[in-house]
Structure 1
């Protein structure tokens, strides 16, 4: 894997090339689909350090583009984001910086892919909820999203079969890729069908 500085995430030419690589990997020529799939991976990597810190009660990093490095996968996706330590970590400051970072990157992704800006913000909210759940405290993801504010929705949760899931508000569009189906938790599934599938997942089926 290669590594690029965080500021690269806002460069249109670079974004176009990485999204094209993602599309080739998934077998789709649609920039909108490829860009959405790409952003799902990037959003998860971007919010994971802050969501983990929020869930574990640690001081969060300051996710400014010029303080981070991104590990890039062969398919163009971002595997991991590494953020340089801040001199004086502060929860409110980190949330504000994340808002600024997302506000710089999301319009650039939307411009080169054709994906809608609100849809890309929604993906971030779901990613934040999932990464907080992974770290053991889903509600902290909602609190973090509230702190970030701006255009970022607050993730929602649902408990089915004794297991908590993010009640998604975003769609990765994978079902529009030839040969692929909707995700189990896709918000575009009928509610009863989605609940039944999540109940099976919670039961380990």
Structure 2
């Protein structure tokens, strides 16, 4: 990691609640592999094979979607968090990322070793995110022989969710989530607009959630149900489940 990247990560952590630091720290319980492996057809095929052991299914569409649902968030977390907290962004380029990889295919995080440069931090981040998302989605879709568009929708939700998480960790969720629309628009590609919804509790408090545009297909794995925030649920049921997670 470059000295500049080290310093930017430290500044990012300093601006966030300590309880949220784990997402940005190196996982000592696993090794690191280069993120460029995402474009290796053999490596990607092996990740899906390993995921089949976790989810007890051979459905490539389900396995690839679940893998991308978690991985997309991991890939963007350092860059989005640093951008929200400091106004500078750690690089999300595949060449600059190390994946915290577990032997069962799970990723617990990533490390970025470079800092993006450019006259506009948002535009530089958007350009780098577009490259990473396009390259990754192309590889995942080719490996599983599935459509690209649902994976782009997952990327939108990953960005919206990561901005919300970073904003909460910094103590300014409204400012962070206001970046969602301009950032996604600048990324371009076939991405739906990011959305949020506010869910109130019986005590009168409310909490902001990502209003997802994508489905992770978890419910298609044996013995699994739809996520609490699944867009496939009725709004009433979805809000009721999310309300259970709202602090009282």
Output the TM-score relative to the length of structure 1: 0.91
Establish whether residue 132 from structure 1 lines up as the match of residue 171 from structure 2. no
1:33-52 residue CA offsets vs partner (Å, 9 max, x unmatched):
11111111110101112221
Question: Which has the higher Rg, Structure 1 or Structure 2?
Answer: 2
**Distance in 2 separating the partners of 1:145 and 1:87:** 17
Establish whether residue 187 from structure 1 lines up as the match of residue 187 from structure 2. no
Which ranges of structure 2 fall in alignment gaps of 5 or more residues? 1-29, 168-175, 201-205
**Distance in 2 separating the partners of 1:45 and 1:141:** 17
1:154-198 residue CA offsets vs partner (Å, 9 max, x unmatched):
310000111100000111111011111100110001122212222
1:94-124 residue CA offsets vs partner (Å, 9 max, x unmatched):
2201101111110110111133211111111
| Alignment match, 2:241 | 197
1:87 offset after TM fit, Å?
6.8
Contact 1:19–1:34 (CA under 8 A) maintained in structure 2:
yes
3-state DSSP of counterpart to 2:146: coil
Contact 1:55–1:138 (CA under 8 A) maintained in structure 2:
no
Alignment of 1:59-138 (within 5 A): 59-86=88-115, 88=117, 90-136=121-167, 137-138=176-177
1:67-90 residue CA offsets vs partner (Å, 9 max, x unmatched):
221111232122212112237364
| Alignment match, 1:145 | 184
The count of aligned residue pairs is 204
Which ranges of structure 1 fall in alignment gaps of 5 or more residues? none
